[in-house]
Amino acid sequence: MSGQPMTKTVDMAAFDRRNADWYIDKLVQALVFIGGISAIIFVVGIFAFVTKEGFGFILDRFDFQEFFTSPYWYPADEDAPEYGILALIAGTASVTGLAMLVAIPFSLGTAVYIAEFASGKTRETLKVLVELLAAIPSVVWGFIGLSIMNPLIIELFDVPVGLNVLNAGIILGLMAAPIMTSIAEDALKAVPDRYREAAEAMGATRWQVIYKTVLPAAKNGLLGAVLLGVGRGFGETMAVLMATGHSINMPGSVFDSVRALTATIAAELGETAVGSDHYQVLFTIGIFLFLITFVINLTADLIVRGIRKG
Amino acid sequence: MFETSELNIKNQRVQRLFKILFLLMTMLLIAPVLLILGTLIVKGGSVISIDFLFTSPTDGMTAGGIFPALLGTVWLVAVALLISVPLGIAAAIYLSEYAGENWFTRIINLAIINLAGVPSIVHALFGVGAFVLFFKFGTSILAASLTLAIMTLPVVIVATRESLQAVPFAFREACWNMGATRWQTIRRVVLPNAVSGILTGVILEVSRTAGETAPIMFTGAVFFTPFLPQGIFDQTMAMSLHLFVVSTQVPGVPENLPYGVALVLIAMVLIMNSLSIAFRIYLRGKKKW
């Protein structure tokens, strides 16, 4: 052996480190990769399947102008069904709008208090309470609107019906506030402490530090929090179904009952025959909702990510 | 030497004012939870008994208990968890241990955010289109749980990813230097150090899943069935839908009955949530690095 050149007799297999562990490693890598892309598959799947069910309507009956500008929603009419969702959009928009009026000041105020004023045990307790507020299921909120808020509004404002924009707006505001609070709080916490220290060293009071330094620095994150709150309000279903009164109206005041896009799907899908026009138009509304929340979430993400880079 | 100027006093006053204002806002945000809980306990407490929990509704759902709904929710949550927990943990392992910082990872993250942001009723439409009709599972626990699993997947992914990333990178490097493969490192070093954080996320997911209504309305949960679920292809009642039904759909329900249903549902959810929070605080205290 000694005189022969090594290269010719080298057994490549001896250098092959691919033992069982190596193969297991590759297998696991493939498996977790499937997990990783599952989120993409599901989002695409949601869009594909909802579109598939609603596609027939879009091809045959869809009239862009009627759909978005007519307030007449009579999809169950046998002779002359009408598919205008303007009143439903108005319902969703009015409730979400009022909800934001409630939620924005309260959630930003709470976030500022938790992040900048409170400390130690108080801060932890408040955070836990906000988290518990976020945990209340939407159907329970709806029930609260129905059984607690409804008589309260009738009593306080002397109106015949307490299930209206005001009721659903307050309920939805309370629902959206916790998630907005925690995102806003994250945004405030992301502002480096040295900003605060620098301002304090200049003799600024805590409020001046917050107002002049922290809030401007956290601006984008706070905007993202608000946008996500809007998205949440837009997509909320059960609470809105139960607290709005669910009657088709172009709202003129906060005491009008309205009907939301999401609630319409929830209330009517069970009564329709699979494949009918009515069934398909509900899926078309679903596509519309999907696209809107998609844009809202994308924008919020871009804004929030913008600050991390900047 | 430093005299307190008038401006300074004014500034101090403004600061105190804002502090009180924000505290007030915080209190006003939190007060409803306590009020709601109080009302539910007062009005619903009288309804709840062992019988209420363990008998079926009777007299067209105007009397009797909630057992089928309770059992149905347990079924729905259990099956949903069987699907979403392995998938979510796999996704989190990929994102935390394998994925690089590139456009592909960005897209996955965007997909997760969107999955969490899609309205629950759109998830329901997806469940109907995909699981009930296309895969022909019919309206069944399987179809409803799949819909729930996909909807709450982001909860597991985000919680797991956070706890994986909390494990110091040096732990991994030490393990690699011993000649371990990536998977060996994940299994022997990363996961054991992250398991409690993952558990916190899973408990949180149980709570989220149990409270959802819209996604199960058309995919597997029904207003009323005299039968208890026997398997994943059965339809079932569920707590959340039952609350909707007794408070809006059934005439002649005694006033306090829906309060009782709501109280049981919210107790389930809040107990799970508190467990998750308590567990997280306990872990933070125990953390060694």
- DSSP string covering A103-161: HHHHHHHHHHIIIII--HHHHHHHHHHHHHHHHS-HHHHHHHIIIIIHHHHHHHH--S-
Statement: residue B284 has pLDDT above 90: no
Q: Is residue B151 in some structural domain?
A: yes
Nearest to B241 by CA among B146, B120, B131: B120
Query: What would the pLDDT profile of B195-213 be if each residue is shown by its tens digit?
Result: 888 988 899 899 999 999 9
Q: Provide the β-strand partners of residue A258.
A: A245
Q: Which two tokens stand for residue B155?
A: 């909860």
Asked whether the predicted pLDDT for residue B218 surpasses 90, the reply is yes
Determine the distance from the C-alpha atom of residue A39 to the mean position of all C-alpha atoms in its chain, rounded to a whole number. 16
Assigned domain for B112 exists: yes
Nearest CA among A136, A145, A170, A163 for reference residue A239: A145
Query: How is chain A split into domains, by residue range?
Result: 96-278
The beta strands (E) that lie in chain B are given as 57-58, 63-64
Complex ipTM: 0.90
A86 touching chain B per CB within 8 A: no
Residue B214 confidence (pLDDT) above 90: yes
In this model, does residue A1 exceed pLDDT 50?
no
The most confident of the ranges A3-17, A258-272, B14-28 is A258-272
Q: Over the stretch B86-120, which tens digit does the pLDDT of each residue have? A: 999 999 999 999 998 889 999 999 999 999 999 99
Q: Which residues of A touch B258 (CB under 8 A)?
A: 143, 147
pLDDT, mean of residues A169-194: 92
Q: What is the mean pLDDT of chain A?
A: 89
Which pairing describes strands A73-74 and B57-58: parallel, antiparallel, or unpaired?
A: unpaired
> Which CATH number belongs to the domain containing residue B234 in this structure?
1.10.3720.10
Q: What is the mean pLDDT of residues A267-292?
A: 92
The answer to whether B217 touches B241, Cβ cutoff 8 Å, is yes
Residues A229/A100, Cβ–Cβ less than 8 Å: yes
Is the pLDDT reported for residue B74 higher than 90?
A: yes
| Domain of residue B119, residue span | 63-286
Computed over every residue of chain B, the mean pLDDT equals 90
Instruction: Spell out a b/e string for B141-159, using b for 16 or more CB atoms within 10 Å of the CB, else e.
Output: bbbbbbbbbbbbbbbbbbb
Structure tokens belonging to residue A184? 């806003």
- In tens, the pLDDT along A140-161 reads 999 999 999 999 999 999 999 9
Residues A283-294: pLDDT tens digits?
999 999 999 999
The structure tokens listed for B14 are 């403004």
Nearest CA in chain A to B95: A36
Structural domain contains residue B41? no
Q: Is residue B261 situated within a structural domain?
A: yes
For residue B12, name the pLDDT band (cuts at 50, 70, 90).
confident
B70-96 average pLDDT score: 95
A-chain CB neighbours of B242 within 8 Å are: none
pLDDT of residue B98: 92
Q: Which residues of A250-267 are buried (b: 16+ CB within 10 A; e: fewer)?
A: ebeebbbbbbbbbbbbbb
Q: Is A242 in contact with B118 (Cβ distance < 8 A)?
A: no
pLDDT of amino acid A79: 82
Residue A309 pLDDT > 60, yes or no? no
A8 has a pLDDT exceeding 60: no
Mean pLDDT of B178-182: 88
So what's the pLDDT on residue B3? 61
Using alpha carbons, select from B94, B110, B210, B209 the residue that is nearest to residue B153.
B209
Residue A5 confidence class, pLDDT cut points 50, 70, 90 = low
B36 within a domain of the structure (yes/no): no
How many domains does the structure of chain B reveal? 1
Residue entry with tokens 């609107």: A145
Indicate which of A140, A213, A264, A309 best probes the interface with B, i.e. most B CBs within 10 Å of its own CB.
A140
Structure-token pair, residue B167 = 């494990």
Is A304 a residue whose pLDDT tops 90? no
Q: State percent of chain B over pLDDT 90.
A: 60
Q: What is the pLDDT of residue B61?
A: 83
Whether A10 shows a pLDDT value over 80: the answer reads no
Distance CA B256, CA B264 (A): 13
Q: Is there a contact between A36 and B108 if contact means CB atoms under 8 Å apart?
A: yes
Please tell me which of the candidates B23, B94, B117 has its beta carbon nearest to residue A297.
B117
Nearest by CB: A293 against B30, B119, B129: B119
Lowest-pLDDT range of B69-73, B262-266, B276-280: B276-280
All residues of chain A having their beta carbon less than 8 Å from the beta carbon of residue B157 are 39
Give pLDDT, residue B1.
47
Residue whose entry in the numeric block shows the structure tokens 């991390």: A308
Mean pLDDT along residues B220-235? 90
The answer to whether residue B50 sits within a structural domain is: no
In a domain, B13, yes or no: no
Residue-wise pLDDT tens digits, A50-71: 999 998 888 887 888 888 988 8
* Residue B163 pLDDT > 80: yes
Which CATH fold topology does A96-278 show? MetI-like fold (1.10.3720)
Three-class DSSP category at A207: helix
| Shortest CA distance from A176: residue in chain B | B29
Rounded distance, CA B250 to CA A48, Å? 36
What's the pTM?
A: 0.90
pLDDT of residue A310: 43
Instruction: Give the whole-angstrom CA distance, residue A125 versus residue A114.
Output: 10
- In tens, the pLDDT along B246-276 reads 999 888 888 889 999 999 999 999 999 888 8
pLDDT (0 to 100) of residue B4: 66
